[in-house]
Structure 1
């Protein structure tokens, strides 16, 4: 879900159709408000994959994973509470393109009025003057938003003492350009070195007290929102020999209408954590690569004789120990599981409106470096 500028619903009368036996999928607004955030990676196959039609993992040739820099939003209704003069405000932003914008008007009064856009910024659309424009009418907007946004935040006030800075947002912090901290007793700021992120927070090199002022220059990423449930062993579809073969542990997955998943795409839910134990070995750069990523928590690190506590996670999959250790360690950690989208999907429509699409997905621990993927996109 992109950065949200307007917290209220797009329609004051809440006319969205809810789930029912006839319409089993939840509406877009419900998924965006109550769904789980997830990273969506497009899987781009090598030429041999396109020629053979085989599934992911059946050849040695590496796949590429990419993240869309722009995302089309579901068509949005803009009401007069979100209109100021010739400026219309969408629920999400920053806007990258307005595909279509029109004023809804009854056919008896001449039908819909298409409006020309003069400029747009963040979630503001400024239209060109039009004698037929009436702000009390409803407006339909079809637009795209940027998924990556460079943000300059000044001031940012630390709310809790410690090394962690939390942004009050659903966005992920994917790159830190600079962090400046206020020098107590002066009007100056100092540039901090070795500042890191684990997607959800900024990790400082040293602790700071609550109330400290910072200047942040960061790039954030807007994840999508999904709804899902695990298929258990009692599901009747597991014994159905027709259609797609499902197994216990697969997901029933529903996404908003603007998310066009395809076979073999990867989804990483960001609230769910799986726990793993493995032996890790020091690499040439002194760090310990971890098999499953993104790593979100480290519960324990052991050698044969002792436990270690002074460590950091870098690039979501590398362990850096700040004390003397053997070259082989045992780590217990929590990571976000990854799921691969299966070939088939279910679509539905009701009341002349396309409904969110339903897919199935399967747990898949394909090796990928999430930090490197973000770095490549942001070059």
Structure 2
């Protein structure tokens, strides 16, 4: 899902918004003031408990991650009308449920003829000043083509829209002359692709991409003398936050939300494990950036260099390119905070109209688990 139109436009010269002709909806307020995040469900793996293995490629410690594939957008006016083409504010469109023309105080259903990525065609001829109210669906998960360049690098950071990378389909190196060359990759993070060997030049990749959502949230004081919801008997545990999402998101208890802008710093000591593996896992994820890795040697403290001695592998692991420090090491890194939905404050739809979802959420160490 991506924004392709401004929305709320009118044929009148109005300088500021919101106003009487272009009001600001709850969803628009969240889009303007909320923070970008990724949201998904963690559900039990369908494998029998006796068949589950620690390194299963399909689940995370017995849990599978699923995403909402479509978002319903309703009670929204068309971004613009040109002839018999009606343009929406978000794309790519997967389905048009309703399109109603405001005409002389009434609403008239329009006949949908053909649906394109960012607009659809109707049978009736329209004027540019016509107002069309829409209810339509857009895709939240897409396969898109991205490009990234590197110079003797293990990791490439392609330019991405607002969202997160959830899978890699294929990667090709684009030479200056000749056909594209397939390239093997070993992993990926929310915004990068990891390779088993150093790569150079321009690379083009087809990736699976999930669009970001916008979430509003606030913290609470758990002092008994200052309960924010005393009359409603709602209680918040220490560390819980109140969150709010738009009406089109089918969020449930146990879902995980990871903020994409906020970052926290953490330091921890990693013990040396003589198991022959060159990969170590950290406590908090997804990692945004590794600040430094420090070990104690005979001559004093040693600072290891990223890209030469180690690289970030996936969202929560460090892959060593050289021998790991035998005495263990300290790692300092920044990560995106994640939260688990613990309950709902308001989930009903009054007046038979969809309303934003207001819920409680609590921090978790990783976006790969419920606890």
- TM-score tier, shorter chain, comes to 0.7 to 0.9
Q: Secondary structure at the match of 2:30?
A: helix
Aligned to 2:185: 194
Contact 1:74–1:257 (CA under 8 A) maintained in structure 2:
no
Aligned to 1:363: 363
Q: How many residues align?
A: 335
1:139 aligns with 2:135: no
Aligned to 1:256: 246
Q: CA deviation at 1:350?
A: 9.8
Q: CA deviation at 1:142?
A: 0.8
Aligned to 2:51: none
1:104-183 to structure 2, matched below 5 A, reads 104-107=102-105, 111-127=106-122, 129-130=123-124, 133-153=126-146, 156=147, 164-167=156-159, 169-183=161-175
1:292 aligns with 2:284: yes
Within 2, Cα distance between the matches of 1:144 and 1:239?
35
Within 2, Cα distance between the matches of 1:150 and 1:367?
22
Within 1, Cα distance between the matches of 2:151 and 2:350?
48
Aligned to 1:271: 261
Aligned to 1:377: none
Contact 1:300–1:333 (CA under 8 A) maintained in structure 2:
yes
Aligned to 1:314: 313
Within 2, Cα distance between the matches of 1:279 and 1:159?
31
Q: Deviations over 1:60-86 (max 9, x none)?
A: x9554421122222432115xx22332
Aligned to 2:53: none
Aligned to 2:49: none
Contact 1:179–1:195 (CA under 8 A) maintained in structure 2:
no
Within 2, Cα distance between the matches of 1:263 and 1:86?
43
Aligned to 2:13: none
Q: What's the C-alpha RMSD, in Å, of the aligned pairs? A: 3.7
Normalised by the size of structure 1, how large is the TM-score? 0.74
Distance 1:217 1:168, change over 3 A: closer
Q: Secondary structure at the match of 1:257?
A: coil
1:14 aligns with 2:18: yes
1:68 aligns with 2:72: no
Within 2, Cα distance between the matches of 1:14 and 1:349?
24
Q: Deviations over 1:324-357 (max 9, x none)?
A: 1146443222222221223222369899965533
Q: Deviations over 1:264-312 (max 9, x none)?
A: 2211111122222334465675321223221221122233423322222
Within 2, Cα distance between the matches of 1:349 and 1:69?
22
Aligned to 1:5: 4
Q: CA deviation at 1:34?
A: 3.3
Deviates more, 1:221-230 or 1:233-242: 233-242
Aligned to 2:205: 216
Q: Secondary structure at the match of 1:75?
A: strand
Aligned to 1:245: 235
Normalized per residue, the structure richer in strand is 2
Q: Secondary structure at the match of 2:227?
A: helix
Aligned to 1:341: 341
Deviates more, 1:260-269 or 1:234-243: 234-243
Within 2, Cα distance between the matches of 1:171 and 1:143?
21
Distance 1:250 1:354, change over 3 A: same
